[in-house]
């Protein structure tokens, strides 16, 4: 069949540029500046006090349906990273009458207070940083207004400086860096932050473009935008030089000894006339059982004239899409930026391969079949969980996902410390080991946290319980992993005669039991000691040297299984009632499924669960707070009634 050109496809024929010609932005009920095809948001979310910079706050710009820029605020570095100083929002205001957004923001540790103003003006927005008092002297040459642009949009695209000088945004980071140590008298930072900067040599990248005006995405009509500085020069940096999650940063320094509007930008987006975002049809990519309800949700641009019907087409063996059902779409309902409608196609029951067509757009394919859910869970069990297995090597065909990792686990975390990601230890360690001392026996079992290499024990609880429940209810006998416990080796797509779910449950409880044997109870986490190791993106086996740290050895000295490199992970050994009961539920659940596979381990799990249950009832664990200071410990999990009976 011939597909119609959608409104989105027609919009791509626009080549411009007119740089905001005819734009009239208004403040919406939701409190942001908006016109068809372009929106500016100011502090609809804030910098997180635990995770710091998450690339989703301060001034943000959405152009033609994509968020092209974020983190527009005063920052103290050209390309701030996640743990660098962040501003604190005091208040924000949306002035509909004057079409202006304002935010009162500060760095209290520097006694630095300012106001951000983003106002609609002909053809775009005017951005200003306003000071009632001059910039503190110690921030001279450091504080500037930054706006970060998404590399996924601009990498490989052209930019132009002052209307003549040209360049291409680098696909790979390549800009030089210089060392800029902090000046004397800096406000104290948390130890892990200071160590992070020191270990990396206080590096800062140099700009790759500077001028009074910069046009980004010259060759990309959908995301072309021009920025003009009325005050100091604009400098363009590549934040990926410092971190893989860095963005392109446009920056103007705040001048010293001045008040009022110390930074003023004029932003001119090149907005395609009458642009509308194409409909987005959300459906089950897994597919549908013939007898179940089948409802797709359609997300719509409020300016889009939405058709009142949609249809389902079936893919035939010849590659033709044959219409099989056309039905009504519900009236769109507004929620935040978009409107939403439903398309019910439950009448389609015949097994086959289908897609939904709506407003000239066609979705991806999905199945309708009675066995549609039979092949949905295996990749999680024997793929994702396998690659996340700690303390073993994991191989898939020619690929080694990772070697044997963290054989040096773990050192006792020190008391009264606030660590990154919100981890903390109070004055009591709840452990027989001294701060920094090696805790033997923890280098077994467990899974990496999603996206990190640390072990979060509450996550281990959840995975073990879910796997045990799945095995008990569905008798899962799927086997595509070969596990050699003695060799610490796992190979994918190689059956070994043992259901994978049982091996994964065993792998999890080995870590749970190891914690109990080591310090008498489970504890929240085994985490990296430094940000240098926490941000590691390579093989987990290369993150540490896999040798137990000894303070008797020099920094690069090795003696057998010991080394003088303090890269071992820390054990955060705080005891809590939530962890106690979490371990009870987990071990009891594991015992029910391990019986018949590893009877000795099943008995150990059940005996340990009963012992902890009895001990906790006889001598309840008292709750206590952590040390004073910024940050928050992670909230207790494992609330509610366990799904298993001892």
- How far is the C-alpha of 414 from the C-alpha of 435, rounded, in Å? 5
pLDDT above 80 for 8: no
Q: Do 351 and 368 meet the contact criterion of CB atoms below 8 Å apart?
A: yes
Q: How confident is the model over 433-438, as a mean pLDDT? A: 97
CA distances (Å), origin 3, targets 7, 121, 291, 354: 12, 40, 31, 16
Collapsed DSSP state (helix, strand, coil) of residue 302: coil
- Give CA–CA dist 226/298, Å, rounded: 33
Share above pLDDT 90 across residues of the chain, in percent, rounded to a whole number = 86
- Of all residues in the chain, the percent with pLDDT exceeding 70 is 93
Instruction: Record the pTM.
Output: 0.89
- The predicted pLDDT at position 504 comes to 98
pLDDT recorded at residue 641: 34
How far is 80 from 107, CA to CA, in rounded Å?
A: 15
Distance CA 390, CA 386 (A): 9
What 3-state DSSP class applies to 354?
A: strand
Give every CB contact of residue 233 below 8 A, 6+ residues apart in sequence: 210, 211, 212, 252
Average pLDDT over residues 350-358: 98
Nearest to 127 by CA among 267, 232, 252: 267
For residues 632 and 626, is the Cβ–Cβ distance under 8 A?
no
Strands (E) across 501-609 are located at 525-527, 548-549, 558-559, 562-563, 570-572
Q: Where are the beta strands (DSSP E) in 64-190?
A: 66-75, 88-95, 100-107, 112-121, 124-131, 144-149, 158-161, 165-168, 177-179
Residue with structure tokens 């800009």?
175
Which of 637, 627, 271, 256 shows the shortest CA–CA distance to 465? 637
Tell me the pLDDT tens digit for each residue of 557-611. Answer: 999 999 999 999 999 999 999 999 999 999 999 999 999 999 999 999 999 999 9
Phi, psi of 71 (to 5 degrees): 60, 35
pLDDT at 439 over 80: yes
């Amino acid at each position: 069949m011939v597909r119609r050109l959608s409104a989105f496809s027609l919009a791509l024929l626009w080549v411009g540029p007119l740089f905001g010609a005819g734009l009239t932005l208004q403040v919406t009920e939701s409190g942001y500046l908006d016109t068809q095809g372009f929106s500016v948001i100011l502090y609809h979310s804030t910098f997180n006090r635990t995770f710091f910079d998450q690339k989703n706050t301060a001034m943000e710009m959405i152009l033609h349906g994509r968020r092209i820029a974020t983190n527009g605020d005063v920052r103290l570095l050209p390309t701030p990273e996640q743990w660098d100083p962040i501003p604190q929002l005091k208040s924000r205001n949306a002035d509909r009458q004057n079409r202006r957004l304002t935010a009162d923001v500060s760095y209290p540790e520097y006694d630095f207070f300012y106001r951000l103003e983003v106002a609609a003006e002909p053809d775009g927005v005017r951005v200003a940083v306003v000071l009632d008092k001059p910039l503190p002297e110690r921030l001279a040459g450091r504080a500037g207004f930054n706006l970060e642009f998404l590399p996924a949009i601009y990498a490989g695209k052209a930019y132009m400086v002052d209307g003549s000088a040209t360049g291409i945004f680098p696909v790979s980071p390549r800009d030089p860096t210089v060392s800029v140590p902090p000046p004397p008298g800096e406000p104290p930072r948390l130890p892990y932050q200071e160590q992070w900067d020191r270990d990396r040599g206080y590096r800062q990248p140099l700009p790759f473009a500077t001028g009074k005006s910069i046009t980004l995405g010259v060759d990309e009509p959908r995301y072309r935008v021009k920025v003009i500085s009325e005050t100091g020069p604009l400098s363009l940096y590549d934040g990926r030089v410092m971190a893989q999650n860095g963005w392109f940063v446009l920056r103007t320094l705040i001048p010293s000894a001045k008040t009022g509007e110390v930074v003023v930008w004029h932003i001119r987006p090149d907005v395609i006339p009458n642009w509308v975002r194409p409909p987005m049809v959300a459906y089950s990519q897994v597919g549908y059982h013939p007898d179940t309800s089948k409802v797709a949700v359609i997300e719509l641009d409020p300016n889009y004239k939405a058709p009142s019907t949609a249809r389902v087409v079936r893919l035939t063996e010849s590659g033709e899409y044959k219409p099989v059902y056309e039905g009504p779409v519900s009236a769109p309902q507004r929620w935040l930026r978009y409107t939403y409608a439903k398309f019910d196609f439950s009448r389609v029951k015949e097994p086959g391969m289908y897609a939904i067509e709506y407003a000239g757009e066609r979705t991806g394919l999905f199945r309708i079949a009675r066995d549609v859910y039979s092949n949905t869970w295996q990749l999680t069990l024997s793929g994702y969980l396998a690659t996340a297995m700690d303390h073993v090597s994991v191989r898939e065909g020619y690929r080694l996902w990772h070697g044997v990792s963290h054989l040096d686990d773990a050192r006792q975390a020190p008391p009264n410390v606030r660590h990154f990601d919100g981890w903390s230890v109070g004055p009591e360690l709840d452990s027989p080991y001294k701060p920094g001392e090696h805790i033997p026996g923890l280098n077994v079992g467990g899974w990496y946290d999603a996206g990190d290499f640390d072990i979060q024990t509450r996550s281990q609880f959840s995975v073990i319980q879910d796997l045990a429940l799945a095995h008990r209810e569905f008798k899962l006998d799927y086997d595509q992993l070969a596990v050699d416990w003695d060799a610490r080796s796992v190979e994918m797509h190689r059956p070994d005669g043992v259901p994978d779910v049982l091996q994964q449950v065993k792998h999890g409880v080995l870590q749970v039991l190891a914690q109990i044997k080591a310090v008498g109870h489970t504890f929240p986490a085994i985490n990296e000691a430094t940000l240098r190791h926490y941000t590691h993106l390579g093989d987990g086996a290369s993150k540490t040297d896999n040798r137990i740290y000894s303070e008797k050895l020099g920094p690069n000295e090795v003696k057998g299984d010991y080394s003088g490199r303090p890269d071992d992970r820390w054990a955060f050994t705080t005891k809590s009632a939530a962890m106690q009961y979490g371990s009870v539920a987990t071990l009891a659940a594991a015992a029910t499924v391990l019986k018949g596979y590893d009877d000795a381990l099943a008995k150990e799990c059940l005996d340990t669960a009963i012992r902890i249950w009895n001990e906790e009832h006889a001598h309840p664990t008292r709750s206590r707070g952590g040390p004073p200071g910024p940050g928050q410990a992670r909230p207790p999990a494992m609330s509610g009634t366990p799904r298993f009976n001892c």
